[in-house]
Amino acid sequence: MTGEKLADRRIPVGDDFLAPEAVAALTPADLVARVTALKPMIAAASAEAERLRRPVDEVWSALRATGYFYIYVPRKFGGLEFDPQTYIDATLAICEACPSTGWTASFAAEHNWLIAQYPEQTQAEVWGRTPYVIAPSVAAPPGKAVRMDGGFRLSGRWKFGTVVMHADWAMLNAMEDMGEGKPPVVRMMLVRAEDVKVLDTWFMSGMAATGSNDILAEDLFVPEAYTFEVGPVRTGRGNGGKVHDNPLYAAPMLPQLCVTAALPSVGAAKAAVELARKRLTVHTKMGGQSTQVDKPAAQMRLARADLMVRSAELSIRQAADENLTLSALSDEEQLPHRLRLRAQIAYAVSQCLEAVRTCCEASGSGIYAMDNPMQRILRDIEVMASHIVYDMDVSTELHGRSMVGLAPNSLLT
């Protein structure tokens, strides 16, 4: 142990899962309405979530009660198995109220898609124990997996453990050494949350409320059936497409992740546009004789921000649907499409960031008061946009190389 302070996390007791018949009765419209009804509560708790550096317990419990976290659990195992557009609709409602809480919830729901990539018996065991999984999925820096009888010994320390503060499971990327001259195999290892340590390391200027603390595993045994090779899942060739008929579970992994991580930026930008719209009616610049609502420049700025967000949302929605079709292509054929979708979604996130900055630039110093949600939105989206999959230089270079017939120069494809 490092001697560092442990985080004050909330491992679920597991006594608040919905009855199977209640889950089966939920329609997409029902789910979206139930989540949307929580927007005032989530927004009112956003400052407290930032202070606590994790989602507020009462908000998280309310989200659990809606059925939201069942959204990507297959029907075969008692889940909702809803389509990506329903997932986007429900998730945006959370993200508009609090982007950081939305970031955490969106990953928690989507990571059940990853559970569908484990062997079928493992899926049955996991969802039999917890009808949905709340789990971080952490990749960097990768841990070390040493093969032994029946499984692996896992050790490592991972950063950016989004979801870990309310998790009952954890998914940890690790490298299996295949011997001299052979490339290592990357495996996703599934472990119980109580078997890892969570270090109190998440002190950030933005996205503070996500509680994305470091995770530590020390010589932890993981049965082989609770691991999968990441390589096939990148192209949609994992167990998800073999066990489940829905093309959702055969979608390539990176665009799936990109959509999930982009939604909080859209929610943040939509909230910023609405705040800016309301502020125009009351904000008079020093020396001015009328509110900004009468100023053409302010009207045009608001319109540009609104159009950027609308364009970004449409682009992300299109990418989510297109990704469901890519597994029908060979690995070679789908690669340029995956790279383009990554760049397309990264560009959409950059539009959202620009929209928020556009809203802030002419809104006066008052928006930077700590009790004004606009300053938190700005800080949150700036940190969100720094995620590696949204690095515009990297994503556009990969797309550009593909367009001229050059191979990728990154492993993150």
Residue 2 scores a pLDDT above 90: no
Record the tokens describing residue 267, joined without a space: 């929610």
| CB within 8 Å of 398: residues ≥ 6 apart | 339, 342, 343, 408, 409, 410, 413
**Number of domains forming the structure of the chain:** 3
Q: Which domain holds residue 296?
A: 251-403
Q: Tell me what pLDDT residue 296 has.
A: 77
Is 315's pLDDT higher than 60? yes
The DSSP bridge partners found for residue 143 are 174
Q: Are 150 and 139 in contact (CB under 8 A)?
A: no
pLDDT of residue 18: 98
High-pLDDT (> 70) share of the chain, % = 96
Q: Which of 34, 290, 243, 230 is nearest to 121 (CA)?
A: 243
Residues 177 and 260 grouped into a single domain: no
Residues 214-232 have a mean pLDDT of 98
The 10 Å Cβ neighbour count of residue 20 is 10
Per-residue pLDDT, averaged over 31-50, amounts to 98
Tens-place pLDDT, residues 335-353: 999 999 999 999 999 999 9
pLDDT of 404 reads 97
- Tokens 């198995």 sit on residue: 81
Which of residues 106, 129, 152 is at a domain's end?
129
Q: Do 382 and 280 fall into the same domain?
A: yes
Dihedral sign computed on CA atoms, order 398, 404, 408, 410: negative
Phi, psi (deg, nearest 5) at residue 220: -100, 130
Q: Could you give the dihedral angle defined by the CA atoms of residues 20, 22, 28 and 29, in that order, rounded to the nearest 10 degrees? A: 180
Distant-in-sequence, close-in-space partners of 393: CB < 8 Å, separation ≥ 6: none
Reported as a pLDDT band with limits 50, 70 and 90, residue 290 is low
pLDDT grade for 138, boundaries at 50, 70 and 90: very high
The span from the CA of 105 to the CA of 232, in Å, is 26
| Mean pLDDT, rounded, for 49-77 | 98
Distance CA 121, CA 144 (A): 25
At position 368, the amino acid (one-letter code) is Y
- Domain assignment of residue 155, yes or no: yes
Interatomic CA distance for residues 229 and 252, integer angstroms? 14
Collapse the DSSP code of 393 into the 3-class scheme (helix H, G, I; strand E, B; otherwise coil) and give the result.
Answer: helix
Q: Is residue 306 part of a domain?
A: yes
Return phi, psi of residue 77, to 5°.
Answer: -115, 25
| Mean of all residue pLDDT scores within the chain | 95
Residue 293: band (very low, low, confident or very high) from pLDDT cuts 50, 70, 90: low
Q: What is the pLDDT of residue 288?
A: 59
Residue 9 lies in a domain: no
| Tokens of residue 229, six digits | 């090779």
Of the candidates 370, 372, 390, the residue with the CA atom closest to the CA atom of residue 381: 390
Q: What is the pLDDT of residues 70-125, one digit of tens each?
A: 999 999 999 999 999 999 999 999 999 999 999 999 999 999 999 999 999 999 99
Domain presence at residue 225: yes
Final residue before a domain boundary, out of 163, 196, 229: 229
